[in-house]
Each structure stands twice: as C-alpha cells, then as structure tokens.
Amino acid sequence: MNQAAIRKLVANSVAAALEAQAATMANTDNTNRNIGPRETPVARKCSYKEFMSCQPFNFKGTECAIGPIRWFERTESIFSHSNCTEDCKVKFATSTLTEEALSWWNSFAQPNGIEEVYKIPWFEFKKLLIKKYCPRTKVNKMKDEFYNLTVKGNDLKTYVRRFQELAILCPTMVPWKNLTLPKKLMPFIISIKCLIYSFLN
C-alpha cells in the first residue's frame, strides 16, 4: 500500500464515522442536548476589590527612573490577570499612587475633574507619568546608555534586563514591530558561535 492509498482509506473511515455519529445523534431523544445556537459568555468586568486582591505595587514618585517601569509592568500584569477594562485602568492604577506621586496626580486631576481624568486612555496616562518622573535630561542620559549598551563579560541576563528597561523608557529607539532579538546581541551571538566552532575544530 502506498501513501495515497493509506490517506484515502483514513479519509473514508473518518467520513463514515462522522456520518454514523450524526445519524446516532439525530435518532436519539436527548433532552439535555442544546440544539439552539450557543451564546458566547460575556467577559466580566474587573472590580476594584479584585484589582486590589492582586496586590499591585504602590508608586511613591521618589524611585529612580526605573521605578515607574517596574510599577507599569506590575500594574499591567494585574490588568491582564483581572480582566481590567480600559475604562477602569487609570482609576484603579491611580489608587496605588502615594506620597509625591499622589500629590502630583491630585494637582493634575482636580482642575480637570476627577471623573474626566479617569477617562484618559492608559497609554496617555503612562506618557504623563514618564514625562513627570523621567525628565528629558534623564531620558537623554538613558538614550546614551542604550546606544552604548554592551554585554559585560558573559552576563547576558543583566544586559537583556537593562535592554528591556531602556526600551520602555526610550520607545523611539526600538522598532517594536520588528523586534525579535536585540541587534546589539548579534555580535555576542556570533562570537559565541565562533568560540564553539573553534573548540570543535
């Protein structure tokens, strides 16, 4: 028997089994069977209690430039886990602001109206927070660091972590659509390949 004959035999057997199953279901009086169209369950909106039960980080505003990034990462992870809708993100996230960050938020929100500022899209809120807590001088310094970022020794883990932090703080320096592996890693990868090749020869 060749491959084509085997495929034809399998296809015929599957078709016969499906027909037999359909006939059996049609002839059975099963009152538990739902023959109507299925309804897609609607995603439940996240509550504030559910959001807080995920233990979000507080953000004081006194952390270094990486502080907002760690806060964004944790908060966005909680948004994902708790199915937080876009209209609740800013409202829930700002409840974790404390000290200087809370004062900044209140001074921003009060003139505009708290209910109005809660309608700001999450990405706009992130821009506001980065603008406030990552001043242009710090961002320029980080861009320089990003441009000159290299792997020190064999510490690839530290390099990748710092690359990711800087990529979030300096988004114009990374084309996220095409990013699969940092291009700066390529020389390191090539040197590893050469090293392995030299040991094999």
Q: pLDDT value at position 192?
A: 66
Q: What is the pTM of this model?
A: 0.54
Residue 56, SS3 per DSSP: coil
Helix count and strand count (H, E) for the chain? 10, 0
**DSSP 8-state code for residue 78:** H
The dihedrals phi and psi of 118, each to the nearest 5 degrees, come to: -65, -20
Query: 140-178, pLDDT tens digit by residue?
Result: 888 888 888 888 888 888 888 888 878 777 777 776 555
Q: pLDDT value at position 99?
A: 92
Query: 178-198, pLDDT tens digit by residue?
Result: 555 556 666 666 666 556 656
| 122 pLDDT above the threshold of 70 | yes
Q: Where are the domains of the chain?
A: 48-134, 138-190
Q: Which helix (H) or strand (E) holds 26?
A: helix 3-27
